[in-house]
Chains A and B, each alone.
Chain A
Amino acid sequence: MSQRIEVDPIKCEAHGLCAELLPERITLDEWGYPLIDAAPIPASLAGLARRTVRACPTLALRLRDVAHERAADVGRQR
């Protein structure tokens, strides 16, 4: 099951740890909020992605199963 990472924009407070831990998928915008590449996380990054999600101080990140998404939700997150 492939997964992608997403952020709850209300919980996010721009601590920026995620971009340090997972630069392969996350960069920061000019205000410090994460820009997330929604591409599926390959197996080689899966462990790091899980650790990044756990490290968020406001628990704003989560991994989401790509196949479980409904059509209406696709493209909502960036």
Chain B
Amino acid sequence: MSLPRILLGAGADTMDYATHVRVHGELPGGARRARNGRPAPLVAELTRAMLRGRGGGAFPLAAKLEAVQRAKGRPVVVVNGTEGEPMSVKDRMLLESLPHLVLDGAYCLADLLGTGDVVIALDESMGEAHETVRRAVRERPEAGRRMGQPRIVSVPAGYVTGHETAVVNFVNRGIPRPVTQPPRVSERGIARRPTLMSNVETLAHVALIARHGAEWFRGLGPSDEPGSALVTLSGAVRAPGVYEIEYGSRLDSLVRAAGGVREPVRALLLGGYAGTWVDGVGAGALRLSSGELRPLGASLGAGIIVALPRSACPVAEVTRVAGWMSDQSAMQCGPCVNGLASIADALADLSEGRARHSAFSDIRRWSELVVGRGACAHPDGAAAFVTSALRVFAAEFEDHARHGPCDACAGRPVLITPRERSVVA
């Protein structure tokens, strides 16, 4: 019933297959296969477990699975290990330290769908993960069989290149950019076949549900959002890194697990660069579940929490990230290209104290204008990040608009983009 679940036995080195089996036990075979025309028992377990995707979308895995099963053609399973969120390292950590949990999950889903075709999509910059995954594949008992030969694909780095449709577009046509839906990838994805794409952490949970069942999974967390989740915690904590939390647990207990705060916290960013800022005052009592965060307009996204210290300048941080997010647009959809650039330019002017009077209302208008108008949700996320920043950091933005840069503006960045090339954990 207790934690850790996924991180059980995790250490600095990659857990090899023998150790993996010693820690978690063998993966049971029977539950994964349909028999006498009856669906595999694991389907019902995944449904009852209410497992949701951990790549940020929180889509119920069982619904995805059902959509793929409904579609015509032999399915493809895709392991999405692209992790485009700069402040998230949990997927890379899983791939490097616990690749067998991820492979267990992928092979389980492939069995459920009666397919041997597994694609593992990794960010091109994850050099070590490519190596640990390749080695793990060779260690498996399935090695040599069809399913034991997953195709490892190196996806160009970027914020939207790991989007479900972008990964499919890259594998099919070499173009790492999102495409308009429908059709959904569950109907027509890799090689126009039904495609089940899952985040690596989601697959690690599948591996454990296949062993211990839905009842066990539901032994942690609220009944409408059961289980545990990996969170990348960074910023003003003593020990930044990847932690496993119980859904519904308090933020201050996570911060305690990370050694407490190094310095006072001004605000928290939840959900990464498509996420939401919340004020630091009283945030310790926040419960980390979507039910509790939704009223704040927030979510954990791909499990990202950044504690912004009071010593950092939120205006400089937000402006820098908004500029990067604008540049990360796939440059395909007009409202995203124009909207995010307009927002980023206005923020840059504001932070320098040379903005027009209308800058604040312009930014708010553009932030509403872009929502729902891209082929993917990139503009929606970038706008949510900025809108919540203007609310939480209203005083700081006002101050910069009047007086220009502050002393902290040139400080060491807390929010990292690949441009800063710093290390989160």
B180 at the interface (CB under 8 A from A): yes
Residues of chain A at interface, number, CB under 8 A: 18
Within 8 A of A (CB), among B158-194: 179-182, 184
Is A9 a contact of B182 with CB atoms below 8 Å? no
- The CA-CA distance from A73 to B180 in the complex, in Å, is 12
- The CA-CA distance from A11 to B332 in the complex, in Å, is 8
Q: Please classify the interface of chain A as helix (H, G, I), strand (E, B), loop, or mixed, using the class held by over half of its residues.
A: loop
- The CA-CA distance from A8 to B384 in the complex, in Å, is 22
Q: How far is the CB of A39 from chain B (nearest CB, A)?
A: 15
Q: Please classify the interface of chain B as helix (H, G, I), strand (E, B), loop, or mixed, using the class held by over half of its residues.
A: loop
Within 8 A of A (CB), among B368-385: 369, 371-375
B338 at the interface (CB under 8 A from A): yes
A47 at the interface (CB under 8 A from B): no
A11, A14, A30, A33: which has the most chain B beta carbons within 10 Å?
Answer: A33
Is A31 a contact of B373 with CB atoms below 8 Å? no
Chain A residues whose CB sits within 8 angstroms of the CB of B179 once the complex forms: 10
Chain A residues whose CB sits within 8 angstroms of the CB of B184 once the complex forms: 72
Q: Contacts A31-B338, A73-B182 known; A10 to B369 CB distance under 8 Å? A: no
A32 at the interface (CB under 8 A from B): yes
Within 8 A of B (CB), among A30-52: 30-33
Contact of B333 among A10, A73, A75, A78 (CB under 8 A): A10
B334 at the interface (CB under 8 A from A): yes
Is B332 a contact of A10 with CB atoms below 8 Å? yes
B335 at the interface (CB under 8 A from A): yes
A77 at the interface (CB under 8 A from B): yes
Is B334 a contact of A9 with CB atoms below 8 Å? yes
Is A77 a contact of B335 with CB atoms below 8 Å? no
Is A8 a contact of B180 with CB atoms below 8 Å? yes
Contact of B335 among A8, A9, A73 (CB under 8 A): A9
Is B373 a contact of A33 with CB atoms below 8 Å? yes
Q: Mark A54-78, 1 if CB is under 8 A from B, else 0.
A: 0000000000000000001101111
Q: How far is the CB of A6 from chain B (nearest CB, A)?
A: 10
A21 at the interface (CB under 8 A from B): no
Is B332 a contact of A76 with CB atoms below 8 Å? no
Within 8 A of B (CB), among A1-40: 8-14, 29-33
Is A31 a contact of B335 with CB atoms below 8 Å? yes
The bracket for how many chain B residues form the interface is: 10 to 19
Is B335 a contact of A10 with CB atoms below 8 Å? no
Is B180 a contact of A10 with CB atoms below 8 Å? yes
Q: Contacts A9-B180, A10-B179 known; A76 to B335 CB distance under 8 Å? A: no
Chain B residues whose CB sits within 8 angstroms of the CB of A78 once the complex forms: 371-373
Contact of B334 among A14, A73, A76, A77 (CB under 8 A): A14
Is A12 a contact of B372 with CB atoms below 8 Å? no
Given contacts A10-B375, A33-B335, 20 further A-B contacts (CB under 8 A): A8-B375, A9-B180, A9-B332, A9-B336, A9-B373, A9-B375, A10-B180, A10-B333, A11-B180, A29-B335, A29-B369, A31-B334, A31-B339, A32-B334, A33-B338, A72-B184, A73-B181, A75-B372, A76-B372, A78-B371
Q: How far is the CB of B138 from chain A (nearest CB, A)?
A: 38
B373, B374, B375: which has the most chain A beta carbons within 10 Å?
Answer: B373
Q: How far is the CB of B423 from chain A (nearest CB, A)?
A: 35
Chain B residues whose CB sits within 8 angstroms of the CB of A33 once the complex forms: 334-335, 338, 373
Q: Mark B305-340, 1 if CB is under 8 A from A, else 0.
A: 000000000000000000000000000111110110
- The CA-CA distance from A72 to B182 in the complex, in Å, is 11
- The CA-CA distance from A78 to B334 in the complex, in Å, is 14
Question: Nearest B residue to A11 by beta-carbon distance?
Answer: B180
- The CA-CA distance from A4 to B332 in the complex, in Å, is 23
Chain B residues whose CB sits within 8 angstroms of the CB of A11 once the complex forms: 180
- The CA-CA distance from A37 to B242 in the complex, in Å, is 44
Chain B residues whose CB sits within 8 angstroms of the CB of A10 once the complex forms: 179-180, 332-333, 375
9 closest A-B pairs by beta carbon, nearest first, are: A9-B333, A31-B338, A33-B334, A78-B372, A10-B332, A8-B180, A10-B375, A10-B180, A33-B335
